[in-house]
Amino acid sequence: MASEISTVKTIAQISDETRNFILVAIVIAKSDPRFFSGHLKGRGAFETDTAETLHQTARGVFTLTLRDSDRDTINCTVWGKADTIVHYDSTFEIGDVVEVNRPQVASSMFGRSEHYSPTVTSPYCLTINDQTQVEQITRHEGPAQELQQFKALLKVPLVQPNETIPLADIVASGSGCNGETFNLLVVVRAVRAKRDIRVARSNQIKSFREVILMDCSHAGVLMKFWSDSYIRWTEQWLPLKTTLLIVDARVEFNAYYKTICLAVDRKTIITQDPIVPQLTKLLNHAKTIPTQDIDVVCSLSSGSVDPSTINTVMTVQQILDRTEGDLVQEEDQFTACCYAVLTRFDLDGSSRIVSERCVHCRTLVREPNARCPKYECPGHTAANARERFFDITVDISDHTGTLTGCRMVGQVAETVLNCDVTTFVRLTDAQRTQLKWKYLLDRCAVRLIVKRRSAVRFQNLYSIVDCAIADPAEVEAKLKVY
């Protein structure tokens, strides 16, 4: 009854007997609302209604996960008319401090819904059946200092870092852990643009955003965000700066990328920039990783694999089958020795042969006379902090096909051409043509590292680590028909 006096309780004070109270807490997770209607026969209870029927008959439900101390968390499930739920969903976001007025208390021990809600510390769950005229969830207007105390809870970790598992372990298990949930401590590597797709069944447009996450064990795993709240939230995340502690991230095997991806589950809670000591190590690691394809090619061709160990002979077709076709495996990298002819080696044409990078951090500098694009790098302020390096795109062909866009960069190209980059830029066109014809159309033993297209890489990367004119006898002995 509205006339009864409500008292303010904390999550820890809630018991079976607690009635007529107000809870003040911060929202740390919010489920997507689900709408349903009893009038339409033969439909699943939780199936999303179309927009036309939504406001007439439909009801809805969504869950807020609330926190009011370092320790205490509780779920609050709100049932109501569809428009009430839509209103609540658009009004309250993760990070808002709210007042929950006169919720019902139930033990969550027997509640089925707890299986589908975030794991919380309270043995109780709150329910609001929004039947009254008065709004039962409102924004809390307290003194600034009090609000600050609640906001600080957003960074308090819900699990300890030793309860998280490395991304590499999840990736290694592949499709084996499809559908399971794990705790992760990661740094955001890239935030991709929001995209829209049309859902075939309902013909509605749905938006999603892909975010690439990394940790010290793995360079990148893709996580998909579907709800509007998350899409808005991810917009604020900064690559290589924002860290996330994700409780109960759901693992899904992605058939397109042939690797595991992550998704937000109904149990998932994300803590942005959590206060844990491991962050320093994670962020320092993030600074060292190559971020552009060219960096990856450079690090591949600068000694991570000894070319003399690459002896698995493959034809172009076999390489293609392993990158794109039927033989794709879960590892994202393999090596191959391919006896092939260089069919594009445009040393004397208009193709880019030489690029420039920052001498301090090796970041690619594309604009002429520009400085290093990284603000924190000494090369950003210093003049003449650039160096030239070979950056050659090569096509190789054999009797089975052509591998286009292989990269031959840096030291590898200098060795192959027997010419350093400083000497090369001084060569005349005629001399460059002469250099080209030393290789063009002759059969070479080309040793490659192939990095497959993946969730974090848009294109396959064929990095040449060695290329030498092949002895015809060797070719004849090793060349494969297929």
Nearest distance, CB of residue 229 and Zn ion, angstroms = 37
β-partners of residue 67 are 26, 73
Q: Is 347 in the site for Zn ion (CB under 5 A)?
A: no
- Residue 103 phi/psi, 5-degree rounding, is -75, 160
Alpha helices in 8-81 (DSSP H): 51-54
Nearest distance, CB of residue 391 and Zn ion, angstroms = 17
Q: How far apart are CA 377 and CA 363, in angstroms?
A: 10
Hey, what's the torsion of the CAs at 85, 154, 249, 290, to 10 degrees? 130
Nearest distance, CB of residue 393 and Zn ion, angstroms = 24
Nearest residue to 266 via CA among 46, 116, 78: 116
Q: Is 11 in the site for Zn ion (CB under 5 A)?
A: no
Name the burial class of residue 240, with classes exposed (0-12), middle (13-18) and buried (19+) by CB atoms within 10 angstroms of its CB: middle
The window from 7-15, 88-96, 325-333, 358-366 that contacts Zn ion (CB under 5 A) reads: 358-366
Q: Is 408 in the site for Zn ion (CB under 5 A)?
A: no
Locus of tokens 């096909």: 401
Nearest residue to 340 via CA among 321, 309, 310, 319: 319
The window from 25-33, 108-116, 145-153, 369-377 that contacts Zn ion (CB under 5 A) reads: 369-377
Q: Which of 23, 58, 276, 377 binds Zn ion (CB under 5 A)?
A: 377
Do residues 211 and 174 make contact, with C-beta atoms less than 8 angstroms apart? no
Q: Is 310 in the site for Zn ion (CB under 5 A)?
A: no
Nearest distance, CB of residue 378 and Zn ion, angstroms = 7
Nearest distance, CB of residue 363 and Zn ion, angstroms = 5
- CB nearer to Zn ion: give 362 or 432: 362
Nearest distance, CB of residue 358 and Zn ion, angstroms = 3
- CB nearer to Zn ion: give 42 or 368: 368
Do residues 343 and 332 make contact, with C-beta atoms less than 8 angstroms apart? no
Q: Is 372 in the site for Zn ion (CB under 5 A)?
A: yes
Q: Is 76 in the site for Zn ion (CB under 5 A)?
A: no
Nearest distance, CB of residue 387 and Zn ion, angstroms = 11
- Kindly state the helix (H) or strand (E) to which residue 67 belongs, with its residue range: strand 59-67
Q: How far apart are CA 26 and CA 29, in angstroms?
A: 9
- CB nearer to Zn ion: give 78 or 296: 296
The window from 56-64, 289-297, 360-368, 390-398 that contacts Zn ion (CB under 5 A) reads: 360-368
Q: Is 364 in the site for Zn ion (CB under 5 A)?
A: no
- CB nearer to Zn ion: give 156 or 289: 289
**Which residues fall within 8 angstroms of residue 393, CB to CB, at 6 or more apart?**
344, 346, 351, 352, 405, 406, 407, 408
Q: Is 294 in the site for Zn ion (CB under 5 A)?
A: no
**Which residues fall within 8 angstroms of residue 82, CB to CB, at 6 or more apart?**
35, 49, 54, 55, 58, 59, 60
Nearest residue to 391 via CA among 372, 364, 418, 423: 364
DSSP-derived pairing of the beta strands 7-9 and 21-30: parallel
- CB nearer to Zn ion: give 295 or 321: 295
The window from 331-339, 375-383, 434-442, 462-470 that contacts Zn ion (CB under 5 A) reads: 375-383
Helices vs. strands in the chain: H and E counts, helices first: 12, 23
Do residues 22 and 11 make contact, with C-beta atoms less than 8 angstroms apart? no
Q: Is 379 in the site for Zn ion (CB under 5 A)?
A: yes
Q: Is 371 in the site for Zn ion (CB under 5 A)?
A: no
Nearest distance, CB of residue 365 and Zn ion, angstroms = 8
The window from 101-109, 176-184, 301-309, 377-385 that contacts Zn ion (CB under 5 A) reads: 377-385
Nearest distance, CB of residue 296 and Zn ion, angstroms = 17
Q: Is 358 in the site for Zn ion (CB under 5 A)?
A: yes
- CB nearer to Zn ion: give 58 or 409: 409
- CB nearer to Zn ion: give 232 or 380: 380
Number of residues that bind Zn ion (CB under 5 A): 8
Task: Output the CA angle 251-254-255, nearest 5 degrees.
Answer: 150
- CB nearer to Zn ion: give 364 or 464: 364
- DSSP SS3 for 324: coil
- CB nearer to Zn ion: give 266 or 360: 360
- CB nearer to Zn ion: give 329 or 381: 381
Nearest residue to 211 via CA among 244, 183, 182: 244
- CB nearer to Zn ion: give 379 or 410: 379
Q: Which of 23, 361, 394, 406 binds Zn ion (CB under 5 A)?
A: 361
What is the contact surface with Zn ion in residues (CB under 5 A)? 358, 360-361, 363, 372, 374, 377, 379
